[in-house]
Chain A
Amino acid sequence: MDDERIGPTKNVRETERLHSHFVTREQQEDAATLGMWVFLATEVLFFGAIFMGYTYVRWSYPGVVEEASRHLEIVLGSINTGVLLTSSFIMAAGVLLAEQGRHRAAALALAVTALMGVVFLVIKGTEYSMVIGEGYLPGFTAQLEPVSRPGGGYYGALSEGGGPVPGHEELFFWLYFVMTGLHALHVAIGVILLAGLAWLLRKPQGISLNTVRNTGLYWHFVDLVWVFLFPLLYLAGHRL
Chain B
Amino acid sequence: MHPSSPTLRTFAKVWGALMVLLLLTILASQFDLGRLSLAVALAIAVTKAALIVMFFMHVRYGSREVLVFAGAAYLWLAILLVGVLYDYASRNWLPGR
A interface, CB within 8 angstroms of B: 30, 33-34, 37-38, 40-41, 44-45, 48-49, 51-52, 55-56, 58-60, 74, 78, 81-82, 85-86, 88-89, 91-93, 96, 213, 216-217, 220-221, 223-224, 227-228, 230-232, 235-236, 238-240
Tally of B interface residues using CB under 8 Å: 48
Q: CB distance B11 to A96 under 8 Å?
A: yes
> Which residue in A45, A85, A236 is a CB contact (below 8 Å) of B73?
A45
> Which residue in A41, A52, A74, A81 is a CB contact (below 8 Å) of B22?
A81
User: Cα distance A92–B18 when bound, in Å?
Assistant: 14
Q: CB distance B42 to A231 under 8 Å?
A: yes
Main secondary structure of the interface of A (DSSP, over half): helix
B interface, CB within 8 angstroms of A: 6-8, 11-12, 14-15, 18-19, 22, 25-26, 29-33, 37-38, 41-42, 44-45, 48-49, 52-53, 55-58, 62-63, 65-66, 69-70, 72-74, 76-77, 80-81, 84-85, 88-89
Q: CB distance B57 to A41 under 8 Å?
A: no
Q: CB distance B80 to A45 under 8 Å?
A: yes
> Which residue in A40, A45, A224 is a CB contact (below 8 Å) of B52?
A224
